[in-house]
A = this chain, B = another copy of it.
Amino acid sequence: VAGPFLGSPRQLNRRHESDAELLRLPSSEAVLAVTTDAIVEEIAAGLYQQPWLIGWMGVTVNASDLAAVGAEPLGVLMSVTLPADASGDLLEGLRAGIGAAALAYGLPLLGGDTNRGPVLALGGTALGLVRDGRPLTRCGARPGDCLMVSGPVGLGAAHAFERMIRRSTGAVDFRPVARLREGPRLRGLATACMDTSDGLIATLDELARRNGCGFRVTAPIERVLHPEARRTALEAGLPPWLMLAGPHGEFELVFTVPPEHVAALRDATVTDGWVPQELGRVTAEPGVVRLGADPVDTGAIRNLFDEVDGNVDAYLRALMAMA
């Protein structure tokens, strides 16, 4: 619900300045992170079909927003809308997926709400805490900062391509993991952070706008692509960068790190057995995102899916025309 916000003096972020809302708690230096996200269109479009995956995703989309602000998990509440003909298998699958994600993320299931409706929908609200009161936001990147990503990207696009264009199932093993363990490690080191839930290109577009900066991605696309995305692009004869165009992404974290903090970041992450990848640099060109030397019209790509009214074939044609 857009419109004028009746803001809280406790809220640290304005709209879209961070992946989760940030609220200063009274008599404490801690900041509460809270986010609410529902999966409705994804289920309707057939992107997620197995009940287990739907449950897993309902938790994961919210967990990822906590990760991107560097919060430690407090818990999650789930709100499910069930159709009248919901089977026992559907319920069991949802529960199992929600439970597996809650366990994986150390995000206890605090409560929820069940409703009846015409179609299945799953919403969640995740709560986290930033004890030192210094959360990560989308704002703070500076020219010269190193641009990094928490892991390989493009899995979400590969999955969507398989499901929506090829209409095949099971070809891509899609079970993305939110970086809730890794996010808090970035506090004090990263200057800006955002997840890739809308695809890498949309993420870079948003970060560039928020920070009045640009990005130059110097890493070869093939090297940052998830193996499933690389294979999907190869088999379909698509240029690899299409797997970064979204709008269905995964849950890696894109973040910027001042050069003087890169060594400390390596130290902080390697102990977790986690190696963030270098993507490139933050530049002083406002709003310009370059893949190699070539500028990419990230704004146009980001809005394309809405502009073709969600028609996947038209979307792919338009995207190919941009290539």
Contacts and interface: CB of A to CB of B under 8 A. Distances in A.
A148 interface: no
A110 B23 contact: yes
A21 B198 CA distance: 31
A196 interface: no
Q: How many copies does the complex hold?
A: 2
A80 interface: yes
Given A6-B103, A40-B81, A40-B116, A75 B1 contact: no
Contact of A34 (B25, B81, B98, B110): B110
Contact of A80 (B1, B6, B80, B108): B1
A37 interface: yes
A64 interface: no
Contact of A25 (B4, B28, B115): B28
A146 interface: no
Contacts of A28: 25, 27-28, 30
Interface in A1-58: 1-8, 10-11, 15, 21, 23, 25-28, 30, 32, 34-41, 44
A98 B74 CA distance: 27
A112 interface: yes
B112 A1 contact: yes
B109 A36 contact: no
A129 interface: yes
A114 interface: yes
10 contacts: A1-B98, A1-B109, A6-B102, A11-B108, A23-B74, A26-B30, A28-B30, A32-B127, A34-B125, A41-B116
Given A8-B110, A27-B131, 4 more contacts: A1-B80, A10-B75, A44-B117, A77-B125
